[in-house]
Amino acid sequence: MAAILGGGLGGLSTGYYLLKNNVISNNNLKLFLVEATNSCGGWIKSIRTKDYIFEQGPRTIRPKGVTGLNTLNMIQDLGLSEHVSPITPEHPAAKNRMIYVNQCLHTLPSNIKSVFQTTQPFSKPLIYAVFYDLRQPQKHMQDDSIYNFVERRFGKEIADYAISPMICGICAGDAKEISVKFLMKTLFEWEQSHGGVMKGFMKSIFRSKSGDTLELSDLARKAQEEKWNVYSIKGGLETFPTALCDHLKNNEVDIQMNSKIEEIDFVDSSTVLLKNDIGEKLQAHHVYSSIPSHSLAKLVEKQHPELAKSLNEIPFVTVAIVNLFFEAQQLITPAFGFLVPPIENSPILGVVFDSCCIPDQNGTVLTVMLGGRWFKERFGDDVTEEQLLSIAMKEVNTILKINIQPSVNNVSILRNCIPQYVIGHYERVDAIRQYIVKNNLPISLVGSSYDGVGINDVIYSAKKQVEDCI
C-alpha cells in the first residue's frame, strides 16, 4: 500500500506519476489518497455560470521552462488539449501588464524597444540597470532577500516598481523577506561566482547549457512555437484537477474524501500508520505528503518534534479574493491587470482583468486580491467578507473609475494559502529532507510548501519525488 496525503494538485500529480512510472503495477501495490474535504483540487476552485467564471484560486499557468512544458505534457496526456486557451504575445493581456503608482496606472515595458525608453514611473530607461550592475561591488552571502539583491545590482526603482509588485503577484509576499533564490537563483549565483549579474551572464553564453531535458508533447511544442505567454483552461481551471482525479479513479486509485488525517505514526522504515478523524488507522509502506507543511507538522509532532519545528518555520499568508461580475462589456482597457507595489500602502495587492485573460465571459469580470503578507496589519483578525467587498469596490472605483455596482460578487478569505519562501527556505527544506533520510522515515514531501509555489512547480516536484523513490 502506498498513500497520498492531500488531494490538491500536488497529491493528484503524485498519483499521476506513480501510475505513469508503473510504480503501482510493477510492485503489485495498492494506492490510496486521503483528502480532508469533499472535493479534490485544493486551492483550485472555479465558480462557473453561463455568463462568467470566477476563479477563487489560481487562473493562469506559465508554459515556459522545463516545469511549464512538463505541465503541458500532462495536460495533453489527460486529454485536455482542446480546453487550453493560450495568451500569445500579440494579445493585450501579454502586452499590457500594469502597476499602480502615484495614483496612476503605468504599463510595464514589454518589448526590447521599451527597455531603451524612459517609461513612467521609472526615471531612466531600464537599460541603465545593466550599467548599474557592472559598477556595483560583489557581496558574498549565503542568501539574501530578493529586494536587497535587486536594489544592490539594479537599483532601488527596479526593486520597488518591478520586483516588489511581482512578488505580490506570485506569492502575495514581501520582497524584503523573500529569498533571492525564489526567482533569481541563477542571477544570485552569477553575482556570487563572477562578481556581478552581467559578468556571470557573459560567461554563461560560452558555457554549454545543462539541466533537465524533456520529451515534448505536441501541445508543449505548439506552446513553444507560438510563444505562449500564459494560458488558462476553458470552463475554469478546476477542470484540470477534476480530470486528474478522474484519471486516478479510472486507474483504481482509492480516493477517500472527507477523511482528515490527524496523526502519523512511523512504525519502521517501511510501515506508516495514518490515523484519521474517525479513529481509523490506514497502513501504508510509504506516504507522499502533499498537505501544507504547517498541517504536516501537527501530524508528526508527537513522534518527531524536531521535524515539526522545522516544518512550522515555513510561514504562510492569508489572501482575500473578491470576484466581481459586471454585465456591461469593456469597462476596462484590455490588459492582464495591475499590481500595486507595497510602497504605495494600498489595501489591495492588485486586480486581474479576467474578462480579458479568460475566454467565454459575457461582461466585465475582475478579481481583486487583498492582504497577503499584510493581511493582519491591514484588516485584523475579524474582518468580514462585506468589509473586504466594500474595500475592493472603493479601490476599483478610484483606480478603474468603475462606479456601478457589480451584478454578482464572491468574496473568499483563503487562510494560510500561500507559503512564503523567506531567506533560508531552501536550506531549511534540505535540512527537513535530510532529517527524513537520516531517520529512515517512509515519507516524501510534495506540494507548494517545498519546491516552488506555482502550479508548474507543484507538478514537477511530484514528478521528481516519485522518480526519486523508484
Ligand X SMILES: Cc1cc2nc3c(=O)[nH]c(=O)nc-3n(C[C@H](O)[C@H](O)[C@H](O)COP(=O)(O)OP(=O)(O)OC[C@H]3O[C@@H](n4cnc5c(N)ncnc54)[C@H](O)[C@@H]3O)c2cc1C
The residues that touch ligand X, with contacts defined as CB under 6 A, are 5-11, 34-37, 42-44, 57-61, 260-261, 290-292, 295, 319, 321, 414, 417-418, 447-448, 453-455, 458
- Rounded least distance, CB 78 to ligand X, Å: 16
- Rounded least distance, CB 455 to ligand X, Å: 3
Q: At CA 385, angle to CA 383 and CA 390, rounded to 5? A: 95
By C-beta, is 197 or 253 nearer to ligand X?
253
> φ and ψ at 61, to 5 degrees?
-125, 140
Q: How far apart are alpha carbons 150 and 155 in whole angstroms?
A: 7
By C-beta, is 144 or 354 nearer to ligand X?
354
Q: How many helices (H) and strands (E) does the chain have?
A: 20, 19
- Rounded least distance, CB 261 to ligand X, Å: 4
Structure-block grid coordinates of residue 255: 480516493
By C-beta, is 61 or 255 nearer to ligand X?
61
> What DSSP line would sit under 22-60, residue for residue?
THHHHTT--EEEE-SSSSSSTT--EEE-SS-EEESS---
Structure-block grid coordinates of residue 432: 527537513
- Rounded least distance, CB 449 to ligand X, Å: 7
By C-beta, is 153 or 373 nearer to ligand X?
373
Q: How far apart are alpha carbons 421 and 176 in whole angstroms?
A: 11
By C-beta, is 173 or 196 nearer to ligand X?
173
By C-beta, is 242 or 295 nearer to ligand X?
295
By C-beta, is 122 or 460 nearer to ligand X?
460
Q: How far apart are alpha carbons 34 and 357 in whole angstroms?
A: 34
Partner residues linked to 366 by β-bridges = 324, 353
By C-beta, is 43 or 201 nearer to ligand X?
43
- Placement of cell 536587497 in the chain: 148
19 Cβ neighbours under 8 A, 6+ residues apart? 31, 247, 248, 251, 253
- Rounded least distance, CB 179 to ligand X, Å: 17
Q: Is the peptide bond before 419 cis (omega within 30 degrees of 0)?
A: no
Structure-block grid coordinates of residue 252: 483504481
- Placement of cell 535530510 in the chain: 434
- Rounded least distance, CB 188 to ligand X, Å: 22
Closest C-alpha to 194, from 236, 270, 137, 242: 137
Q: Is 65 left (phi over 0), alpha (psi -120 to 50) or beta?
A: left
- Rounded least distance, CB 113 to ligand X, Å: 28
By C-beta, is 126 or 335 nearer to ligand X?
335
- Rounded least distance, CB 458 to ligand X, Å: 5
- Rounded least distance, CB 5 to ligand X, Å: 6
- Rounded least distance, CB 211 to ligand X, Å: 20
Neighbour-count burial for 267-278, b at 16+ CB within 10 Å, e otherwise? eeeeebbbebee
By C-beta, is 96 or 465 nearer to ligand X?
465
